[in-house]
Amino acid sequence: MRTLNITICSIIVALSCSIQYAQADFDAGFAAHQAKNYEKALEEYEHELALDNPKAKYALATMYFMGDGVKQDSKKAVDLLLDLAKQDQNTATAFLEIMSFSKKPMDSKASLAIGAAYERGAPLPKDYVKAFTWYKKSAEEGNPDAMFSLGLMYEQGRGVTINKSQAASYYLTAAILGLPEAQTNVGILYLEGNGLPQSDASAFDYFSQAADKFEPMGINNLAYMFENGRSVQKNRTIAYALYKTALSKRHDEITYNNAERIKKELNEKQIKQASQITDQILKSNKLTSTINSNISKTASLESNKTKNENTEKNDSPYPEKPNKVSGSITCNTQCYNSECYRTYDTGKKVKFRAKNKYNPVSGQWEWGPGSC
């Protein structure tokens, strides 16, 4: 430990020489620090910290990391170093390298913050390998956010070789610990059969868990399940209410487009009831229980929807004409199993039989309408 103290102090001295900033004021604190007059050192350093002195940030980080005259606090030390990195990236990075092999206890949130800074490339240089290393340190201390980040890195091959099963393992552990973003990702893996066995029921369960914590994409995905009747009775009124709820928490282009698309399929009564359900969810702050209490009330609207829709469209199976896009051909296609109906931007309508294609992901044969 004496070696570590000497190393850190040496770097502080180097920092003092390299940065021309309030040298005399900083030296008073540094001299007190060397004399183990920690109370005086802390007072001088904090005074300089208020003036945004980078030397004070480094010196205070040293005190908090080592526990010199203060309670050892690696998170506070890391916060100071990340702030310092905005002014002197090299010096902050040098201290973090010392931290990486130190035996001093590291708070899991501190390791997480370092990993995130390396992954973002701000305020530290972008380095996925270092990000992975720090996330792993944090995950080993039981931090679910770090586990989720490791899952993303394994899934995307950032700082490590792509490994879907490892990604699923980290997502699952984080999901069990209650992290809603991880619950959403586990639901996606179950839905797609990617890294986990395909299971609509498991996907629905994890999306519900995430949605109940108001995780926007979890709510969006739960809406998808209701819209398409995956592991639940198809209910577009509930789906629209969920899309609107997700948008109230975070505006997302995917969710917005989903909401606008399904709204066109609903009648005025369904839209009104969906809005009421969304209001109930937001006022009660209870999502799944509110949805469950409204399923039977909206089921009749879903069954009547087909009758009303056919009447309004004169029993036409053809979709609406799309807007014309300059330089390309656009179309809307609606299929009922193998029977497909297509409307082009010119107004031309065609009926055709879809091709039967094998989907290696689902392991099933599916009807594919192809492109315009």
Asked whether 228 and 204 are in contact (CB, 8 A), the reply is: no
Asked whether 247 and 259 are in contact (CB, 8 A), the reply is: yes
Q: Which tens digit of pLDDT belongs to each residue from 123-165?
A: 999 999 999 999 999 999 999 999 999 999 999 999 999 999 9
- Residues β-bridged to residue 240: none
Asked whether 239 and 266 are in contact (CB, 8 A), the reply is: no
Assess whether the previous peptide bond of 123 is cis (omega < 30° from 0).
Answer: yes
pLDDT in tens, the chain (372 residues): 445 554 555 555 555 455 545 566 788 888 999 899 999 999 999 999 999 999 999 999 999 999 999 999 999 999 999 999 999 999 999 999 989 988 889 999 999 999 999 999 999 999 999 999 999 999 999 999 999 999 999 999 999 999 999 999 999 999 999 999 999 999 999 999 989 999 999 999 999 999 999 999 999 999 999 999 999 999 999 999 999 999 999 988 889 999 999 999 999 999 999 999 999 999 999 999 999 999 999 987 776 554 444 434 444 667 678 777 776 788 877 543 345 668 888 888 887 766 645 444 333 334 455 677
> From CA 29, how far away is CA 36, in angstroms rounded?
10
Question: What token pair was written down for 328?
Answer: 């390309």
DSSP secondary-structure letter at 318?
Answer: P
**What phi, psi does 348 have (nearest 5°)?**
-65, 135
**What phi, psi does 252 have (nearest 5°)?**
-130, 135
Sign of the alpha-carbon torsion through 22, 27, 33, 36 = negative
**Beta strand residue intervals within the chain, DSSP E:** 331-336, 339-344, 349-353, 355-359, 364-368
> From CA 293, how far away is CA 309, in angstroms rounded?
26
> From CA 286, how far away is CA 214, in angstroms rounded?
9
pLDDT at 35: 93
pLDDT at 320: 74
- The residue count for the chain: 372
Angle between helices 54-66 and 38-50 (to 10 degrees): 140
Global pTM? 0.76
Q: DSSP assignment of 97-113, as one string? A: HHHHH--S---HHHHHH
> Per-domain residue ranges for the chain?
1-105, 316-372
DSSP secondary-structure letter at 285?
Answer: T
Q: Hey, what amino acid is at 122?
A: A
Question: Class assignment of domain 1-105?
Answer: mainly alpha
DSSP secondary-structure letter at 69?
Answer: S
Asked whether 106 and 140 are in contact (CB, 8 A), the reply is: no
Integer CA distances (angstroms), 211 to 205, 236, 259, in order: 10, 17, 16
> From CA 198, how far away is CA 190, in angstroms rounded?
5
Q: What is the largest CA-CA distance in the chain?
A: 91
Residue 272, CA atoms < 13 Å, CB-side half-sphere: 4
